[in-house]
Chain A
């Protein structure tokens, strides 16, 4: 097919397929059926899902091109400029459509008298500012407008990266609303929807960009881009499939749910997903090499894939307006724990429950899964090229990722809402134990060793890693004093400010907490690798360690001895009838944080030994657990 024709035909297929799917989906699921009371009218009933569909498509054409610009395109080339233009147009469309959705949602949920009176304006204003639903659309529209301007204005890699991050954030509010408009943010299912929306947007948007830049790219450029997009698409596909599966489990509830209209639309989505997966896997691999030479078949398949993506997007928009079987059979929230956490108090924590309790957090399941797979692939590649990679590093990585998974999805995650001690225990693991294991595995060194360097001026994972490692920010935060100060601040601030409360009430807060503790922990452990005898910064390692050990010990003792309860309206209001009373449990929590102090004390001991040994004329051995990497 002619590239220029395809440029028009591709997106048209996408939109037409999506519109057909949303209409069919609404008819089957009854998402646009007239309501018995306070019916907002056919325009709102059909317009809202249609507008939501365009929000999804606009979000994809904003985020996908940005991600490809960051990871696949050289900033000097024309495709890079076009990608940013597409992203800017997508973000502008997102701004407008999310405004439309906000307005239609307002009409749909409050059914006001539409006119130009001041009263109507005030009602709309209250909806946008005071209700969570209105606010989330307002935030989406504002962020999307910022992305519109940025994508239009910036051309440097750093700025485009920031724009991409903003674009990702702009898609989060609409995902946290949930499918049925329920605003319970605490539910871990929220996270699966966030991941689903973002991964789908990257996948679909990338494909749109491919079609758009094809006429203006040289065969070589196109070849590179296809290869890189194919990797991004594979990761996005896994993300979409896994998060969709998790979301479907919570929405359907039971197997009988599949037979409902909701299940039917869901099956359509799954079918489209499978077809796209098969298309991607078989044909892309076979045709990749020849696509740049203008083989029509490959681009026909891209068109078919766009069609199926349209079906999936349309079905998604219809699904959002269809009542899920699990929502209709859901019992009213009765107990205190159900009101706070959307789940009853877990059964008593016995020894057996330490091995059987689980509460998967999809984000970290994916991080750990991808982390282990990529690392092992890297190790194999290193060995094939003749670089011996120590087995202890591989083991350290797998154990580290395993502990991360266990902490975020295992018994600690299942009980950390009910028991403050479990939460502090997971903090202790996240802030020091896991970073020690991960940093010891030297993942950055492995990545720089085995990832192919880019030769066309674009930035791949390797270039971004090196850029980050050599950035002034990294150099600053990797000074032992700064890293230790960050660690201490993180320890105190997180536990004694409203950040902690946020991590309890809001799943996003919980994810932020995990990320923050991991990052500060890794920075600190990494900063210990500075060699005391060779760098001026290294001299500060021992004093930093000693000071931090003191701070952590003090923290633990304060937590054990305090007579007031942290976040009393949460941990004191769980209605838990087993286990220690909240205050005693808090003392246990303090004991758990003394683990941090203990580990730090051991590290201090090693550091002292190491410094002593270094003062001897014989050659040095690095501190165990900490290794000097040539690339950092």
Chain B
């Protein structure tokens, strides 16, 4: 193999490596969009989300009307879900937004807006961040979703539901 050909192969290799490095250095979190992700109201939420929650910086996602914070992600948000039906699960109210708390995957919590159309869902790793920090940070953006109802007896003081046995519930 003569020098010229070697040089060309080298050039190509460098180009390919540069490509891999450049595409690799922009981590994008893979999420699935919700059914009504294209709802313009979810756009209003997306553009108002905070750049960071606590010390967790926002990272980019690859699905419409979704967001993530922290590497690895400790908070995930999806907008554009069907509004949940009334449930016996606990309901908390924070910053003017009612959330249904699903603690099936403790220490990870799944929080879904109640009485908002379309609905949004937040998935929080509570070992990294407390749920009320997250909900307070997100309340401003979530309030863009119009209110259609509210919990009957929400917990307003302490959303740390893990040790709250007498919490309110959705109607």
Which residues of chain A have a CB within 8 Å of any CB of chain B?
335-337, 339-340, 481-482, 485-486, 488-489, 492-493, 496-498, 501, 536, 540, 564-569, 572-577, 581-583
Contacts and interface: CB of A to CB of B under 8 A. Distances in A.
24 contacts: A337-B43, A339-B47, A340-B47, A481-B11, A486-B15, A489-B15, A492-B19, A496-B23, A497-B23, A501-B60, A567-B60, A568-B62, A568-B63, A568-B64, A568-B65, A569-B47, A569-B61, A572-B38, A573-B42, A573-B43, A573-B46, A574-B43, A576-B40, A577-B40
Given A492-B23, A496-B23, A573-B65, A336 B15 contact: no
A265 B12 CA distance: 57
Given A536-B4, A577-B40, A485 B60 contact: no
Contact of B38 (A337, A564, A569, A582): A582
A497 B26 contact: yes
Nearest to B44: A336
B22 interface: yes
A475 to B, nearest CB: 13
A573 B18 contact: no
B64 A565 contact: yes
Contacts of B23: 492-493, 496-497
Contact of B47 (A336, A493, A536, A582): A336
B67 interface: yes
A489 B12 CA distance: 10
A567 B66 CA distance: 11
B145 to A, nearest CB: 13
A413 B170 CA distance: 49
Given A493-B22, A582-B38, 5 more contacts: A493-B18, A497-B25, A497-B26, A564-B62, A572-B37
Contacts of B4: 536
Nearest to A333: B47
B6 interface: no
Interface in B94-143: none
Nearest to A334: B44
Contact of A481 (B8, B37, B38, B46): B8
A564 B42 CA distance: 17
A536 B5 CA distance: 11
A485 B15 contact: yes
Contacts of A486: 15
A485 B11 contact: yes
Interface string B35-59: 0011010111011100000000000
Contact of B46 (A496, A540, A566, A572): A572
Given A497-B22, A576-B40, A568 B61 contact: yes
B30 A572 contact: no
Contacts of B42: 573
Contacts of A498: 26
A481 B4 CA distance: 11
Nearest to A336: B43
A488 B67 CA distance: 31
B48 A339 contact: yes
A568 B47 contact: no
Contacts of B44: 335-336, 575
Nearest to A536: B4
Contacts of A501: 60
A482 B19 CA distance: 15
A565 B66 CA distance: 11
List 4 A-B pairs, minimum CB-CB distance, nearest first: A572-B64, A564-B62, A575-B43, A573-B46
A335 B48 CA distance: 10
Nearest to A481: B8
A481 B22 CA distance: 21
